[in-house]
Amino acid sequence: MHGLAIEAPSALAEEATLAALLRCCVREVAGPRGLVWPAPPYLLLRVAGTLLRARTYGGAALRFDGPPERLEGGTWRPLTTDELVGLVETELQGHNGEFAGQVAASRDAVAAILEARAEPPADPWLASEQSLVYGHPFHPSPKARGGDGWLRYAPEAHAEFPVRLLGVREDVLAEEGDVSALEGMGRAPDGYRLLPAHPWQLDLLRPALGTDLVDLGPGPVVMPTSSVRTVYAPEAGVCLKFSLDVRITNCVRKNAWYELAGAVELTSRLKPIFDEISVKHPATRWLPEPGYRSAALGTRLHEGLGVIVRQSPWAACSPGVTPVLAAALALDAPARDSVWWSAYVSAVALPVLELYFTHGVVLEPHLQNVLVGLDASGMPAEAVFRDLEGTKLVAGRHDLGGLHPEVARALTYDAERGWARVVYCLLVNHLTEIAAAVAGQDDGLLRELWRIARGLLAKHAADLGWPLPLSDLLAGAPLPAKANLGVRWARAADRAAGYVPIANPLA
């Protein structure tokens, strides 16, 4: 986008909202109908009978250079978000009375974030977590955050706030694993244990809270990370993943009871696997989620107040290595060369493939779930994988006997679904965006980057004995791109989201 520094927040918010919706239209609406045509320097597409065009670069990442336009009465005129929403509503089957409101709410949220942003935090990792002003580039309403008061808790506005400390009577305490990091956050009365709560979630849960919990007042100050509901508690040196009954992108962010238990279960199962991976790929790191705590006061409160303890990325990286959120690097890559890219792809992609093929583990390595550890010269030296909610075990590859059937079900994917998830997250969501950031408008460099990635993946495929799905991928099989517009339009659950095929840059 041009002229970012000088445009007003409302203009920038409109530009970014239009861009995200237009990307969805290319990928999910016009693309699958064969209604997208490259016409350099433009990309042309037709939505609901109207011809649209924009100058684009960055391959599948679809970055725009200048304002998108629509053809009207033989003349190209600037396209607005509201017009594009109208075209989408005409083109898509069925009716969704919420859709236009969600897009507009997201645009308003971006403008409010831009108004509120001040100095970023001094911690470079935290600054990267809080840098995603425009959010997911392929989502129709990336920043919509239900309800009022959200700005107080917004990472992009560099919020910080104290958690609220609750006391849970010991006889109704629910916990598994190691939650020792919570104990130092305050003092609970005799017979009670400390339960930190997100103040926004407490407001949302207020009517259901009942009288079994005691309010111990404010606790340590925390800072929200990019997911909003996971916060960093610097004094305790951990992250806390809270439930938040707010729709953020496609999900209401609730830790289901079987996900609380599943995180702890996965942490103990993944430990020996990651130990083994890091022998072959010493740059590999991950963020264990050793325990959770909640209150056994009915499912609503057990899930609504359940908090997962997660290791801090600083603790995962070696001394002298700075963790940076991959999504932040996709906005602003520190280098524009193929050596940096080679190091990046090796650190991030190879362990993901090794985990899938050798160990039957499906990571969810999208841009928001991966941190890249940069060394003093800014080179990718380590890759840190996080978020066990999206981490799954391939069905049939692990003995899940002894687990509660619901816990086992929630942490299993069949091989095919798992592979689609890996390819979507790693290639479509992640590496296409990093490649676009590295290459900028240099199409020749972009092609070179994919040649390099192909070489690295092919070498790894040979090491792994050419597993069929990876061979197909290297032979140019189309990539599965998650249909975020489709799932919002259908008002369906995130897990019901389908994929649309897009061209494979490795071909």
Ligand X SMILES: Nc1ncnc2c1ncn2[C@@H]1O[C@H](COP(=O)(O)OP(=O)(O)OP(=O)(O)O)[C@@H](O)[C@H]1O
- Please give the structure tokens belonging to residue 37: 């045509």
CA triplet 19, 25, 30: central angle to 5 degrees?
A: 140
Q: Is 482 in the site for ligand X (CB under 6 A)?
A: no
Q: Is 175 in the site for Mg ion (CB under 5 A)?
A: no
Q: Is 289 in the site for Mg ion (CB under 5 A)?
A: no
**Residues from 206 through 225 that contact ligand X (CB under 6 A):** 225
Contact 382, 317 (CB under 8 A): yes
Q: How many CA atoms lie within 13 A of 420 on its CB side?
A: 15
Q: Is 387 in the site for Mg ion (CB under 5 A)?
A: yes
Least separation, in Å, of the C-beta of 136 and ligand X?
A: 4
CB-count exposure of residue 319 (10 Å: 0-12, 13-18, 19+): exposed
In the complex with ligand X, the residue whose CB is nearer, 14 or 289, is 289
Interface residue with ligand X among 389, 427, 450, 457 (CB under 6 A) is 389
Residue 443 to residue 194: CA distance in whole angstroms = 55
In the complex with ligand X, the residue whose CB is nearer, 159 or 213, is 159
- Residue 15 interaction partner, one of ligand X, Mg ion, none, beta carbon < 5-8 Å per kind: none
- Residue 164 interaction partner, one of ligand X, Mg ion, none, beta carbon < 5-8 Å per kind: none
Contact 158, 117 (CB under 8 A): yes
Q: Is 387 in the site for ligand X (CB under 6 A)?
A: yes
**Residues from 114 through 173 that contact Mg ion (CB under 5 A):** none
Residue 163 to residue 161: CA distance in whole angstroms = 7
In the complex with ligand X, the residue whose CB is nearer, 226 or 284, is 226
Least separation, in Å, of the C-beta of 211 and ligand X?
A: 30
Contact 183, 158 (CB under 8 A): no
Residue 484 to residue 372: CA distance in whole angstroms = 25
Report which residue's Cβ sits closest to Mg ion. Answer: 387
In the complex with ligand X, the residue whose CB is nearer, 55 or 247, is 247
Among 382, 467, 481, 464, residue whose Cα is nearest residue 423: 481
Q: Is 392 in the site for ligand X (CB under 6 A)?
A: no
Q: Is 263 in the site for ligand X (CB under 6 A)?
A: no
Strand partners, 161: 222
Residue 267 to residue 73: CA distance in whole angstroms = 60
- For residue 464, give the 3-state DSSP assignment: coil
Q: Is 303 in the site for Mg ion (CB under 5 A)?
A: no
Least separation, in Å, of the C-beta of 386 and Mg ion?
A: 7
Strand partners, 78: 69
Interface residue with ligand X among 110, 132, 159, 423 (CB under 6 A) is 132
* Number of amino acids touching ligand X (CB under 6 A): 22
Among 192, 293, 286, 193, residue whose Cα is nearest residue 241: 293
Q: Is 131 in the site for ligand X (CB under 6 A)?
A: no
In the complex with Mg ion, the residue whose CB is nearer, 22 or 233, is 233
Prior bond of 334 cis (ω within 30°): no
Contact 430, 370 (CB under 8 A): yes
Q: Is 267 in the site for ligand X (CB under 6 A)?
A: no
Q: Is 128 in the site for ligand X (CB under 6 A)?
A: no
Q: Is 253 in the site for ligand X (CB under 6 A)?
A: yes
Q: Near ligand X by CB under 6 A, which window of 186-194, 207-215, 351-359, 384-392?
A: 384-392
- Please give the structure tokens belonging to residue 323: 């963790």
Q: Is 367 in the site for ligand X (CB under 6 A)?
A: yes
Q: Is 241 in the site for ligand X (CB under 6 A)?
A: yes
Contact 384, 371 (CB under 8 A): yes
**Residues from 352 through 371 that contact Mg ion (CB under 5 A):** 368-369
Among 359, 395, 367, residue whose Cα is nearest residue 383: 367
Residue 150 to residue 146: CA distance in whole angstroms = 8
Least separation, in Å, of the C-beta of 73 and ligand X?
A: 37
Residue 348 to residue 384: CA distance in whole angstroms = 8
- Residue 107 interaction partner, one of ligand X, Mg ion, none, beta carbon < 5-8 Å per kind: none
Residue 429 to residue 8: CA distance in whole angstroms = 29
Least separation, in Å, of the C-beta of 367 and ligand X?
A: 4
The CB density around residue 247, as the number of other CB atoms within 10 Å, is 17
- Residue 9 interaction partner, one of Mg ion, ligand X, none, beta carbon < 5-8 Å per kind: none
Interface residue with ligand X among 17, 81, 249, 504 (CB under 6 A) is 249
Count each helix (H run) and each strand (E run) in the chain, helices first.
17, 25
- Residue 132 interaction partner, one of ligand X, Mg ion, none, beta carbon < 5-8 Å per kind: ligand X
Interface residue with ligand X among 27, 46, 53, 136 (CB under 6 A) is 136
Interface residue with ligand X among 81, 106, 226, 311 (CB under 6 A) is 226
Interface residue with ligand X among 366, 392, 421, 460 (CB under 6 A) is 366
Contact 293, 335 (CB under 8 A): no
Residues that bind ligand X (CB under 6 A): 132, 135-136, 142, 225-227, 229-230, 241, 248-249, 253, 327, 366-369, 387, 389-390, 429
Residues that bind Mg ion (CB under 5 A): 368-369, 387
